[in-house]
Amino acid sequence: MVGARGECLALSELALKESHVAPRRAVGVSPSSTWQRRRLSRASRAKREKPDDFVLATGRTVTVKSFVDGAAAALGFDLEWEGDGAATRGIDRRSGKTVVAVSPEFYRPAEVNMLIGDPTKAKRVLGWEAETSLEELIQMMAKSDFDRVKSGSLRF
């Protein structure tokens, strides 16, 4: 995985720097959402006289720490967490190396503890549902970033 400033979660080479790991975030996959938006836009126009707003979201959240656990596992790491706050570290049990470190430089000035979208209306009115599970998405993202780093298409 690649951090916000280009840090690479490459097998035992660099540590990923992360902000707070406790906040919960809504996670979804955009390719299916993009396709769904186009499809729903056409269907909605055909059935409805008046435009309306819909939230396309999974309705699920995951802590940043759980997301990192899933991404690390997809890349062959087995993380053990130590410390609290800015001293939190994710250590690979196999190598003993720190592969994730919390860094205050990535703290948000106004951290929100929970971000989540409510897709109830889109499901009820349009029959929309997310097609990719959270676990599948985490694996896809981690492997995609790793493949980009490995191929050299992602440069620091």
Per-residue pLDDT, averaged over 62-78, amounts to 90
Give alpha helix (H) positions in the chain: 30-47, 64-74, 120-121, 134-151
C-alpha to C-alpha distance for 4 and 51, rounded to whole angstroms: 36
What residue segments make up the domains of the chain, in order of their start? 16-149
Given the structure tokens 């205050």, which residue do they identify? 104
What number of other Cβ atoms are within 10 A of residue 76's Cβ? 11
- Using one digit for the tens of pLDDT, what is the confidence trace for 103-148? 888 777 777 777 888 989 988 888 878 888 888 888 988 898 888 8
Return the higher-pLDDT residue of 2 and 138: 138
| DSSP assignments along 77-117, one per residue | --EEEE-SGGG-EEEETTT--EEEEE-GGG--TT--SB---
The two tokens of residue 75 are 């890349």
Q: Are 25 and 117 in contact (CB under 8 A)?
A: no
Q: Are 43 and 51 in contact (CB under 8 A)?
A: no
Q: Are 146 and 59 in contact (CB under 8 A)?
A: no
The pLDDT score that the predictor gives to residue 39 is 64
The pLDDT score that the predictor gives to residue 59 is 84
Whole-Å CA distances, 84 to 40, 88, 131: 44, 5, 35
C-alpha to C-alpha distance for 72 and 69, rounded to whole angstroms: 5
- pLDDT-based confidence at residue 54 (cuts at 50, 70, 90): confident
Q: Which amino acid is at 25?
A: R
Q: What is the CATH number of domain 16-149?
A: 3.90.25.10
The pLDDT score that the predictor gives to residue 6 is 39
- pLDDT-based confidence at residue 41 (cuts at 50, 70, 90): low
